[in-house]
Chains A and B, each alone.
Chain A
């Protein structure tokens, strides 16, 4: 019954959101079935569609994991957006500054830069909460804007190629490029930016699972999330856990920088994130704050993102903005789960939960 609940409500939320989206498409005078066929058809076409879908899923797995880890400690990290910007810039900075090093040195250094960049930016609201009790939600929102402004300053004044009209840094060194998976997967062209970071994202899912459910540290972190006063009583320092959770969360979000800088554009591109941080909240929530769930829901949101483009191009009125409408509606339905569970209880299909 528990597993059923875990699977049922996210599924209902997704279906309900697609119905709402379908009605909207119908209202503006297009055929929803045709639009959805375009959406899924393109996202699952081999190799280009699937390649891009997995590429889009990569940052969402990272940000989904970031939100998950914080959530398991009872924190809501809506700052993944800022954390990944800082991390991507840090990655690019290392890739530019030490451009001539060998890949064996440069790639690990970039990796560390991403983790430190994201981790530090995540630790700040953690420390502020642990030390001053200020709410992490507000601070992470503020830090998102700060990150964007800060990085945009560095790019505009220090790391842009002179005369380049685009807000982007100079390219990183060749040694910092990571493999595109097209190199190994027969039939997948190398222009598809799906890269090693995708594998790293899957590895991180495993590591997060082991950390949270198989280690003492993870147990302490989760205990803090479920009942902070009991945890404190049991000898766990809640303040320490808050800082640890936010740091890990930020570091996970930061790895988006690897996908973007080392595997995709090979430079820092201002405003590259398509709301990855905020979508991460949706990913974690829909995935029931479990690493496996995160993979599945990251794939779903990636499908939407990839499929939005042909919908935009090949329908009369529907633009790719339908993707954000669907995303928002899905989160809304997932958040207001009681809306469905209440209805189920009324018809005697499911026992009312004691939330």
Chain B
């Protein structure tokens, strides 16, 4: 057993947690403002594709990272306009964005790179394996500070908890929610960008493979709080790292492989359990999912 718990495993955990941390923090800002964000997956895909395409085109991963964040924000803007301006159902809109972004990057890759849904390889010297990890680590305390120690954070939380009262106190509810959702797009876009130009060296079709949903699960498991969410992301990253390392290495007493599927299930089961209130209660922001209609 000991041979798998090594420095390599820790390193792998950090690498695999990074996109989750970024996306989950994104989800944090959106959901704390009262807008459900199940579109994290789509925003990550937007970021991953755009970052890879722009890095390939310009040769600069930094331009790529910024482009990835912008793409995430653009997708978030669609979510925000639909949900805040037109009061569309937030879950349905999120689902629409996820389906849209499953197709869009592949559609664009097919057109621009004449491929079946992936971008060309990016040379190794044009990748950014470190920067997003550092940003993710910095973003955790920073998000905590912004949410709990600044007027902006107070207002953001207030429109997510009690928009009527916030409105009465002069907080612009819609504007705060726009800010929350757009921020979530930037962070999720960065998380996606890390997947394509940090961990890997190209965009492939559906390369997030559900990480946006795991990030959402981590956010819930972390009870919508930055540090707890970080721990949840590290835990989920760890389970993924373990399942990768264990493949073919660790055997059951019977000599069979330990099925990776069971390790993959851990985050989902934990989230269901915590949501049911078995491990402390995980309470969402009170106004989560409810469009705010200003009284006339």
Q: Which residue of B lies closest to A317 (CB)?
A: B111
With both beta carbons as reference points, the residue of chain B lying nearest to A142 in the complex is identified as B268
Closest chain-B Cβ to A328's Cβ sits at a distance in Å of 3
Verify if A335 is at the interface (C-beta below 8 Å from B).
yes
Say yes or no: is B174 at the interface (Cβ < 8 Å to chain A). Answer: no
**B11-19, B123-131, B188-196, B256-264 - interface stretch:** B256-264
- Whether B93 pairs with A322 at a CB distance below 8 angstroms is no
Return the contact of B95 from the options A323, A329, A331, A342 (Cβ within 8 A). A331
Q: Is the CB of A317 within 8 A of B110?
A: yes
Complex partner residue of A318 from B36, B86, B111, B271, CB under 8 angstroms: B111
Determine whether A338 belongs to the interface, using a CB cutoff of 8 Å to chain B. Answer: yes
Minimum CB distance partner of B87 in chain A: A338
Q: Count chain B residues whose beta carbon lies closer than 8 angstroms to a beta carbon of A.
A: 50
A155 to chain B, nearest CB (A): 10
CB pair A319–B117 under 8 Å, yes or no, is: yes
A351 CB within 8 Å of chain B: no
Docked complex Cα distance between A152 and B262 (Å): 10
Cβ of B108 and Cβ of A28 under 8 Å apart?
A: yes
Assembled-state Cα–Cα distance A337/B85 (Å): 11
| Chain A residues whose CB sits within 8 angstroms of the CB of B116 once the complex forms | 319
Taking the closest CB of chain B, its distance from the CB of A331, in whole angstroms, is 4
* A132 contacts partner chain B, Cβ-Cβ < 8 Å: yes
Instruction: Tell me, yes or no, whether A230 is within 8 Å of chain B by CB.
Output: no
Given A141-B38, A275-B99, answer yes or no on A338-B91 (Cβ-Cβ < 8 Å). Answer: no
Q: List 27 A-B contacts (CB under 8 A).
A: A78-B95, A132-B277, A134-B276, A135-B275, A137-B36, A137-B38, A138-B271, A141-B217, A142-B269, A149-B261, A282-B95, A282-B96, A317-B114, A318-B111, A321-B104, A321-B110, A324-B100, A325-B100, A325-B104, A328-B100, A328-B102, A328-B104, A329-B96, A332-B82, A332-B100, A335-B96, A342-B86
Residues on B close to A: CB < 8 A? Answer: 36, 38, 78, 81-82, 86-89, 91-93, 95-104, 106-108, 110-112, 114, 116-117, 210, 213, 216-217, 220, 256, 259, 261-262, 264-265, 268-269, 271-272, 275-277, 284
A residues touching B (Cβ–Cβ < 8 Å)? 24, 28-29, 76, 78, 128, 131-132, 134-135, 137-139, 141-143, 145-146, 149-150, 152-153, 156-157, 275, 278-279, 281-282, 285, 317-319, 321-332, 335-339, 342, 355
